[in-house]
């Protein structure tokens, strides 16, 4: 099973990925947890290029770099793991590209859908958990974690995080549109709920999906 997590930076995805990994392992499943961009030597180098705050990258260049990283991860790691019978939990997949490069940067959505299909080799998640958070709350979380004064641009943030509040508002609206268009796949969860409550909703949805499949 391929399970993906989506949401703006700071929504708490990585905590939920770890909790879900443990939950599935306790049920005897073999689980691989990965995050995008990255996950292979080449994809990790692309990640550094993309997140280094001093790099000036065009929207088209950004799209192609995220997509190149994805193509490496899908073909070298995800597809072999799924074929081997493992579950794969992915912190971000092509919905991130639609939300960030499509709705956020304003690239053409039709062109983007085609590039997403190429980069993911046509792989579609069995289920996607979207953790919904207002950009203002995300920023507050980020800065309180690091005990820094609140600012919408900072050297403490990576290149994507420094894209500004309006960018993150477009990304969040984009996620809402993507969720509305894919209700059978995407489960929307309020990221302000407690981590335990979010985890409960996730495992319930997965149980329901597994019951439907059998």
Note whether 172 binds ligand TYD by CB under 6 A. Answer: no
Choice between 118 and 208, CB closer to ligand TYD = 118
Note whether 167 binds ligand TYD by CB under 6 A. Answer: no
Q: Which of 4, 97, 120, 199 binds ligand TYD (CB under 6 A)?
A: 97
Choice between 166 and 207, CB closer to ligand TYD = 166
Choice between 1 and 131, CB closer to ligand TYD = 131
- The number of C-alpha atoms within 13 Å of 24 and in the hemisphere containing its C-beta is 22
- The number of C-alpha atoms within 13 Å of 43 and in the hemisphere containing its C-beta is 20
Note whether 37 binds ligand TYD by CB under 6 A. Answer: yes
Note whether 130 binds ligand TYD by CB under 6 A. Answer: no
Note whether 4 binds ligand TYD by CB under 6 A. Answer: no
Enumerate the H helices of 74-194 as residue ranges. Answer: 79-83, 94-97, 109-119, 135-145, 165-181
CB neighbours of residue 163 within 10 Å? 19
Note whether 33 binds ligand TYD by CB under 6 A. Answer: no
Query: In angstroms, rounded to a whole number, what is the distance separating the alpha carbons of residues 9 and 206?
Result: 24
Residues that contact ligand TYD, how many (by CB under 6 A): 14
CB of 12 to ligand TYD, least distance (A): 9
Query: In angstroms, rounded to a whole number, what is the distance separating the alpha carbons of residues 205 and 160?
Result: 31
Note whether 116 binds ligand TYD by CB under 6 A. Answer: no
Question: Do residues 59 and 101 lie in contact, with contact meaning Cβ atoms separated by under 8 Å?
Answer: yes
Helix (H, G, I), strand (E, B) or coil at 96: helix
Note whether 175 binds ligand TYD by CB under 6 A. Answer: no
CB of 175 to ligand TYD, least distance (A): 11
Q: Which of 35, 141, 169, 201 binds ligand TYD (CB under 6 A)?
A: 35
Q: Which of 2, 65, 66, 189 binds ligand TYD (CB under 6 A)?
A: 66
Note whether 128 binds ligand TYD by CB under 6 A. Answer: no
**Judging by beta carbons within 10 Å of its beta carbon (0-12, 13-18, 19+), is residue 135 exposed, middle or buried?**
buried
Helix (H, G, I), strand (E, B) or coil at 132: strand
């Amino acid at each position: 099973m391929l399970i993906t997590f989506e949401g703006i930076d700071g929504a708490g995805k990585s905590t939920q990925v770890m909790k879900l990994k443990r939950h599935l392992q306790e049920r005897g499943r073999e689980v691989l947890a990965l995050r995008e961009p990255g996950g292979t030597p080449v994809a990790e180098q692309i990640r550094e290029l993309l997140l280094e705050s001093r790099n000036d990258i065009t929207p088209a260049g950004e799209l192609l770099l995220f997509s190149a990283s994805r193509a490496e991860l899908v073909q070298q790691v995800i597809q072999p793991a799924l074929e081997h019978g493992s579950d794969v939990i992915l912190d971000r997949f092509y919905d991130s590209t639609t939300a960030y490069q499509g709705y956020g940067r304003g690239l053409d959505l039709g062109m983007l859908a085609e590039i997403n299909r190429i980069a993911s080799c046509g792989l579609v998640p069995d289920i996607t958990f979207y953790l919904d958070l207002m950009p203002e709350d995300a920023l507050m979380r980020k800065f309180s974690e690091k005990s820094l004064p609140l600012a919408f641009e900072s050297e403490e943030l990576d290149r994507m995080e420094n894209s500004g509040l309006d960018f993150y508002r477009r990304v969040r609206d984009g996620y809402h549109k993507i969720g509305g268009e894919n209700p059978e796949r995407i489960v929307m969860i309020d990221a302000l709920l407690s981590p335990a409550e979010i985890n409960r909703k996730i495992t319930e949805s997965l149980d329901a999906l597994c019951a439907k499949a059998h």
